[in-house]
Amino acid sequence: MITVFGSLNADLVCQVPQLPVPGETVTGPSYTVVAGGKGANQALAAARAGAAVRMVGAVGRDAFAEAALASLREGGVDLSGIVESPERTACAFIGVDPAGQNLIIVASGANLETRAEQLHRTGLQPDDLLLLQMEVTHAENWKAVAVAKAAGARVVLNLAPAGAVPPETLRQVDFLVVNETEARQLGEQLGLAERTPEEIAARLAADFVAHCIVTLGAEGVAAYGAGGTHRLPALSVEVVDTTAAGDAFVGGFAAAIHQGQPMERALAQGVVTGGLACRRLGAQSSLPPRDEIDAALQGYRF
């Protein structure tokens, strides 16, 4: 099973003519309330890609809690690891422009109440995969990594949003997923001499993590590690909204890895899942089902 330790949000999404600059107000015709949060997005993406998934996190005792959980429940994600917090359910405020680019502000709320000790009640097994992001308290993330390794489980860390990671924790990570910005910031934190995202990812794989995957937007993805170097192109799609595209990649990739797929095939599934998510508005509402992923993989060349 894939156990996702991470965030759950209610997302308020508004389409706007352009993204605002500091001090500017822009208006949109309406807004939608959809489920989001990097943890929940990745959990649902992995479930829709065919994996058995358990979500571990926290929501508040408010109306947004059900909005944050509904899609996961419908998608068959095990919610027994979710706890109620006195804090409000996390909420994200998202503006999307006509080109599909977005601006996101997140109020963390109950996400900061998620605790690694919740994992002890899930019964992690050696064949489990623990999937983490950076929208819960970072210290709890590092404790969660230690719990997973003690159980013999593998760890996937998506360093999003970017943040500092203790070197000793990095060395326990099996798969590190970063975008270009996150790669550069982590390289600076570790004092690496390498400057390009690809060079930094290669160095991270050589000195810290078993595998480092760097997503490169329209340029696709590059991966470095014990199995060698892999570069795959992006999926060609008409972009409507890039919200959750990175989460879709991680969920699709994690599902394939957990199912025993080789690295190149897992990366392809991640790329296709992320690309397909760009065709629809919203976070979890954009995540593709297994049949769409399989159909797109048939025409994807890697």
Q: Using CA atoms, how far apart are residues 246 and 290, in angstroms rounded to an integer?
A: 17
CB 10 within 8 A of CB 90: yes
The residue-averaged pLDDT of 217-235 equals 92
Q: Using CA atoms, how far apart are residues 122 and 147, in angstroms rounded to an integer?
A: 11
pLDDT at 242 over 80: no
Dig out the tokens for 60 from the structure. Answer: 């508040």
Q: Please tell us whether the domain made up of 38-62+114-299 is placed in CATH 1.10.340.30.
A: no
Sort residue 280 into left (φ over 0), alpha (ψ -120 to 50) or beta: beta
Res. 238 pLDDT band, cuts 50 70 90: confident
User: Average pLDDT over the chain, rounded to whole?
Assistant: 94
Provide the percentage of residues in the chain whose pLDDT is more than 70: 100
The residue-averaged pLDDT of 18-44 equals 94
Q: What is the pLDDT of residue 284?
A: 87
Sheet holding 90-96, edge to edge: 32-36, 9-15, 90-96, 102-107
Q: Which helix (H) or strand (E) holds 11?
A: strand 9-15
Q: Using CA atoms, how far apart are residues 234 and 230, in angstroms rounded to an integer?
A: 13
Provide the percentage of residues in the chain whose pLDDT is more than 90: 84
Place of tokens 């991270």: 204
Least confident of 94-98, 259-263, 277-281: 277-281
Res. 101 pLDDT band, cuts 50 70 90: confident
Sort strands 53-60 and 2-5 into parallel, antiparallel or unpaired: parallel
How many whole angstroms from its chain centre is CA 200? Answer: 20
pTM: 0.92
pLDDT, tens digit (0-9, with 9 covering 90-100), for 133-164: 999 999 999 999 999 999 999 999 999 999 99
Q: Using CA atoms, how far apart are residues 140 and 142, in angstroms rounded to an integer?
A: 5
Q: Using CA atoms, how far apart are residues 251 and 2, in angstroms rounded to an integer?
A: 10
Dig out the tokens for 179 from the structure. Answer: 């975008």
Catalytic residues: 247
Domains of the chain by residue range: 38-62+114-299
